């Protein structure tokens, strides 16, 4: 039985990757912060199938302890401050976890588990204000926010450790990938929630957006830049690409995406169209959600992953959105836990 450790076990990809590996008979160790693990009651059935290790990626001792204690054969480094939009306001925290957290982990693996095969979560955000399209493994980086700069640092350090010490560190340059597990501070989940509210006739949403206000207020969903363009795929497909990178004969970099570019408007049209609504009646552009500088348009040339990993996306954009909107409808129909004392 292969033993794999996953950092970022409470995140979207950590959950879906854990499911993928457990279904293949892996033993999985989930590294995560205790309060986050305990708070995610919805994930406790999954967590019961794996071994939890409480730790913080800001703490080298926690990482070393996890490695020494469990001696994993595979390690998937997914922990990060993962929101580019929040990374201007949290630039130092982002550097501490997204850049230095990865560096700390590489160093801990070098010292305490040097034979371990490692996957590191790089990102299409590294291409930033893109210098060519579509982007492949040789496209120059041009980061446009603190998150992207931190990911470039971690990516370069992965290469340094690979070259200097012969460590197996595969870097997945993954483009945007989504699922019903997406957090509410990301675009697709806001739009899925907005479409679900429109379907159910809910004018004021029970959930909060990035600004701590109802995601839908007075029947309107406030977004930022409607012209931004991305390459969106389904996270279940992308965690399978991670697994294949770790099984590959050598550590390498792989771009993973669908190759299809869509705008925020396209996304809104598809999601509200799914519930037979016209998105223009519901969506507004609010300057508070605009970013000081925009990444993109990011669109993948994933031909290397197709060729060398035999990987290609299997879930369509429309099927992904339908799954997300349906999940939001189901959640909105489920009563919230009893109200807290006022
Ligand atoms: P999420 O935001 O859903 O998950 C991030 C995870 O990192 C959470 O489990 C979070 O835990 C954990 N984390 C954050 N800070 C710490 C810390 N100090 N110590 C321990 N754990 C910490 O992200 P995704 O699952 O979407 O992404 C996984 C990885 O892939 C990230 O590195 C992200 O940057 C990268 N990526 C994601 C893409 C996407 O489209 N989803 C595309 C390209 C790259 P907690 O619950 O405690 O906050
Ligand atoms: P991104 O994802 O920044 O690409 O990072 P996000 O969903 O936040 O933004 C995608 C695009 O939508 C535009 N946008 C909005 N975004 C948010 N969050 N909220 C809004 O209201 C809104 N309106 C428009 C953004 O400007 C942007 O252009 C994700 C994360 O998973 C990263 O960890 C990962 O590295 C990259 O994808 C690839």
Give the model confidence (pLDDT) of 46-98 as tens digits: 999 999 999 999 999 999 999 999 999 999 999 999 999 999 999 999 999 99
pLDDT above 70: residue 340: no
Residue that is written with structure tokens 């839908």 in the block:
216
Alpha carbon of 136 to ligand 2 centroid (Å): 20
Number of the ligand 1 atom closest to the C-alpha atom of 175? 42
126 CB less than 6 Å from ligand 1? no
- Kind of pairing, strands 3-7 and 27-32? parallel
For residue range 299-333, list pLDDT tens digits in order: 999 999 999 999 999 999 999 999 999 999 999 99
Does residue 257 line the site of ligand 1, with CB under 6 A?
no
> Does residue 176 have its Cβ closer than 6 Å to ligand 1?
yes
Say what the pLDDT of residue 342 is: 56
> Does residue 191 carry a pLDDT above 90?
yes
From atom 33 of ligand 2, which residue's Cα is the shortest distance away? 82
User: Is the pLDDT at 337 greater than 70, yes or no?
Assistant: no
The per-residue pLDDT for range 152-174, each reduced to its tens digit, is 999 999 999 999 999 999 999 99
Residue 192 alpha carbon to ligand 1 centre in Å: 20
Phi/psi region, residue 219 (left: phi>0; alpha: psi -120 to 50; beta: rest), is left
pLDDT exceeds 90 at position 335: no
Nearest ligand, CA 172: 1
pLDDT above 90 as % of the chain: 98
pLDDT attached to residue 328: 98
Ligand with the closest atom to the CA of 119: 1
- Would you state the pLDDT for residue 338? 66
User: Atom 38 of ligand 2 has which residue's CA nearest to it?
Assistant: 176
Best of 13, 79, 85 for a ligand 2 pocket test (most atoms within 8 Å of beta carbon): 85
The mean pLDDT value of the chain amounts to 97
Q: How much of the chain, in percent, has pLDDT values that exceed 70? A: 98
Write out the catalytic residue numbers. Answer: 123, 125, 147
In this structure, which ligand is nearest to the CA of 189? 2
Distance from the alpha carbon of residue 14 to the mean position of ligand 1, in angstroms: 8
Cβ of 84 closer than 6 Å to ligand 1, yes or no, is: no
Task: Report the pLDDT value the prediction gives residue 296, as an integer from 0 to 100.
Answer: 94
Could you tell me the CA-to-CA distances from 259 to 152, 232, 313 in Å, in that order? 22, 9, 10
For ligand 2, is residue 263 a contact (CB within 6 Å)? Answer: no
Of 97, 248, 256, which is closest to residue 170 (Cα–Cα)? 248
Site to probe by mutation for ligand 2, drawn from 8, 224, 286 as the one with most ligand atoms within 8 Å of Cβ, is: 224
For residue 141, pLDDT over 60 is answered with: yes
With a cut of 90, say whether residue 341 has pLDDT above it.
no
Q: Is the CB of 223 under 6 A from ligand 2?
A: yes
């Amino acid at each position: 039985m292969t033993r794999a450790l996953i950092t970022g076990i409470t995140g979207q990809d950590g959950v879906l990757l854990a499911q993928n590996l457990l279904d293949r008979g892996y033993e999985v160790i989930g590294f995560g912060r205790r309060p986050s693990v305990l708070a995610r009651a919805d994930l406790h059935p999954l967590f019961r199938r794996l071994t939890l290790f409480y730790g913080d990626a800001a703490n080298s001792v926690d990482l070393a302890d996890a490695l020494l204690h469990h001696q994993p054969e595979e390690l998937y480094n997914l922990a990060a401050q993962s929101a580019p939009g929040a990374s201007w306001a949290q630039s130092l925290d982002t550097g501490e976890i997204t850049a230095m957290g990865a560096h700390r982990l590489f160093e801990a693996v070098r010292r305490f588990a040097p034979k371990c095969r490692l996957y590191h979560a790089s990102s299409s955000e590294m291409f930033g204000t893109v210098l060519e399209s579509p982007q492949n493994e040789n496209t120059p980086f041009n980061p446009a926010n603190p998150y992207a700069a931190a990911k470039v640092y971690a990516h370069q350090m992965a290469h340094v450790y690979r070259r200097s010490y012969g460590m197996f560190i595969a870097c997945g340059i993954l483009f945007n990938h989504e699922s019903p597990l997406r957090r509410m501070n990301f675009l697709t989940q806001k739009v899925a929630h907005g479409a679900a509210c429109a379907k159910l006739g809910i004018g004021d949403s029970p959930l909060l957006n990035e600004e701590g206000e109802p995601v839908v207020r007075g029947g309107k969903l406030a977004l930022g830049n409607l012209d931004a363009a991305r390459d969106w795929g389904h996270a279940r497909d992308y965690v399978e690409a991670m697994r294949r990178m770790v099984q590959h004969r050598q550590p390498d970099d792989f771009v993973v995406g669908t190759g299809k570019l869509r705008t925020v408007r396209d996304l809104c049209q598809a999601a509200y169209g799914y519930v037979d609504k016209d998105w223009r009646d519901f969506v507004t552009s609010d300057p508070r959600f605009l970013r000081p500088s925009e990444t993109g348009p990011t669109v993948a040339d994933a031909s290397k992953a197709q060729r060398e990993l035999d990987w290609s996306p299997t879930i369509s954009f429309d099927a992904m959105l339908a799954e997300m909107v349906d999940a939001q409808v189901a959640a909105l129909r489920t009563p919230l836990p009893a109200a807290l004392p006022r």
